[in-house]
């Protein structure tokens, strides 16, 4: 039986444990959406995670949906990310970058020349985003033309190449949480009547083209995918056949031999049992096509749940989001069954070091002593 703290290899990535730091948007990029030295410090602090999925980075200027989020399309951004990956690798981390296009979850003030956001649809989402004025209602999008879609695929491909050039160990394509690729997937959002709308075979077309292009550019063994089949976030209405849709997508991805799938179970940041869904069936379909790929689960996992999921084979790895914000040493806390620190919500988005790099770890000497006598390595709760 596998243990949460055992090493694992998936694709071309070798991790020292099965704990994943989930991507977390913190809105702290510098001018030009360039990653900063402060961001390098932040990720290096969290290097005990078996895998760090760095925060979402927009693949183009039009892909941005929130203030001060980093990009991965300019030379300056690539150089900024090199500082992040160098700092993370210097302390033993494995780190991949999440590739992001928000689609309609944006505001004209964040778009090139104040243009409408681009999406699968021209229908506006009933949700707010973070701009220079604070939280504002997102703008009405425009539906992408057929002749523009190859450019979207090319932007993902180039972003993946840029990520590898910046020193990342791989990428995770964001196809979740109501952003662009999921706007094409779900029939509750996608109202197109062309080759990218209608039946599920058409609606998976753009995600498949993107994944194929990314895998062709950097290798499937360095490529992952994030999915959220039933989450309602960002006004993502439910697909009429979510099980069939996402099952078909995963089956069609099999030839790519992906390194991992990162699955959000239930409502992102909310109830895990939001709607019924057979995640095990999706996992089995993925494993049939990518036997050496990792199935990563996410959303509200406790220590006990994570140990059970890996120990039972329900998951290969478990991702934690918010706990990594306030616990840079979350892996040690999980080993010892130590309490998790409280997140300060007023410093989540924007700002500087406060609420970002100033959360203290457990005392290192005490950690070493406790690890020496703790049975937690065996997956048993400490007392």
Please determine, for residue 367, whether its predicted confidence score (pLDDT) is greater than 70.
Answer: no
Q: Which domain, by its residues, includes 268? A: 8-378
In a domain, 2, yes or no: no
pLDDT confidence of residue 368: 65
Please determine, for residue 179, whether its predicted confidence score (pLDDT) is greater than 80.
Answer: yes
Q: How far, in Å, CA of 288 to CA of 272, rounded? A: 25
CA atoms within 13 A on the CB side of 331: 23
pLDDT confidence of residue 291: 85
Please determine, for residue 139, whether its predicted confidence score (pLDDT) is greater than 90.
Answer: yes
In a domain, 131, yes or no: yes
- Catalytic position from the list 43, 66, 156, 179: 179
The count of domains in the chain is: 1
Placement of tokens 């002593």 in the chain: 369
Please determine, for residue 378, whether its predicted confidence score (pLDDT) is greater than 60.
Answer: no
Question: What CATH number has the domain bearing residue 19?
Answer: 3.20.20.70
In a domain, 383, yes or no: no
The terminus-to-terminus CA distance of the chain in angstroms comes to 23
Q: What tens digit of pLDDT does each residue of 232-282 get?
A: 999 999 999 999 999 999 999 999 999 999 999 999 999 999 999 999 999
In a domain, 311, yes or no: yes
Are 38 and 30 in contact, with CB atoms under 8 Å apart? no
Q: How far, in Å, CA of 348 to CA of 264, rounded? A: 21
> Across the chain, what does the average pLDDT equal?
95
The percentage of the chain sitting over the pLDDT mark of 70, rounded to a whole number, equals 95
CA atoms within 13 A on the CB side of 354: 6
Q: Which of 112-126, 165-179, 361-375 has the lowest mean pLDDT?
A: 361-375
0.75 surpassed by pTM: yes
Classify the C-alpha dihedral 242-245-248-250 as positive or negative: negative
Q: What is the mean pLDDT of residues 146-159?
A: 98
pLDDT confidence of residue 55: 98
Number of H helices, E strands in the chain: 12, 14
Q: What is the mean pLDDT of residues 287-305?
A: 95
User: pLDDT confidence of 382, banded at 50, 70, 90?
Assistant: very low
Catalytic-residue membership of 179: yes
């Amino acid at each position: 039986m596998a243990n949460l703290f055992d090493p694992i290899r998936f694709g071309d990535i070798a991790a020292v444990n099965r704990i994943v730091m989930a991507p977390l948007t913190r809105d702290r990029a510098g001018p030009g959406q360039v990653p900063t030295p402060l961001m390098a410090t932040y990720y290096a602090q969290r290097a005990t995670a078996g895998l760090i999925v760095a925060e979402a980075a927009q693949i183009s200027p039009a892909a941005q949906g929130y203030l001060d989020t980093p990009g991965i399309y300019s030379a300056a951004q690539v150089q900024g990310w090199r500082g992040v990956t160098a700092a993370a690798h210097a302390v033993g981390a494995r780190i991949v970058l999440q590739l992001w296009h928000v689609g309609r979850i944006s505001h004209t003030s964040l778009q090139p020349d104040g243009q409408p956001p681009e999406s699968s649809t021209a229908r506006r989402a009933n949700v707010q985003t973070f701009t220079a004025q604070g939280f504002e209602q997102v703008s009405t999008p425009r539906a992408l033309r057929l002749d523009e879609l190859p450019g979207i695929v090319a932007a993902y491909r180039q972003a993946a190449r840029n990520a590898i050039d910046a020193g990342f160990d791989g990428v995770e394509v964001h196809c979740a949480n109501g952003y662009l690729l999921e706007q094409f997937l779900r029939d509750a959002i996608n109202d197109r009547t062309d080759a990218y709308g209608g039946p599920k075979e058409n609606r998976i077309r753009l995600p498949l083209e993107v994944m194929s292009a990314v895998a062709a550019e950097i290798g499937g063994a360095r490529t992952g995918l994030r999915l959220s089949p039933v989450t309602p976030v960002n006004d993502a209405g439910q697909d009429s056949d979510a099980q069939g849709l996402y099952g078909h997508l995963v089956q069609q991805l099999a030839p790519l031999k992906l390194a991992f799938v990162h699955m959000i179970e239930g409502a992102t940041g909310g109830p895990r049992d939001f709607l019924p869904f057979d995640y095990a069936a999706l996992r089995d379909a993925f494993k049939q096509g990518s036997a050496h790929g990792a199935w990563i689960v996410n959303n509200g996992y406790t220590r006990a749940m994570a140990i059970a999921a890996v120990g039972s084979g329900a998951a290969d790895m478990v991702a934690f989001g918010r706990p990594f914000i306030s616990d840079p040493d979350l892996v040690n806390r999980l080993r010892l069954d130590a309490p998790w620190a409280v997140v300060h919500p007023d410093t989540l988005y924007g700002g500087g070091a406060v609420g970002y790099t100033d959360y203290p770890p457990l005392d290192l000497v005490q950690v070493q002593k406790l690890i020496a006598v703790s049975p937690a390595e065996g997956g048993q709760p400490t007392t």
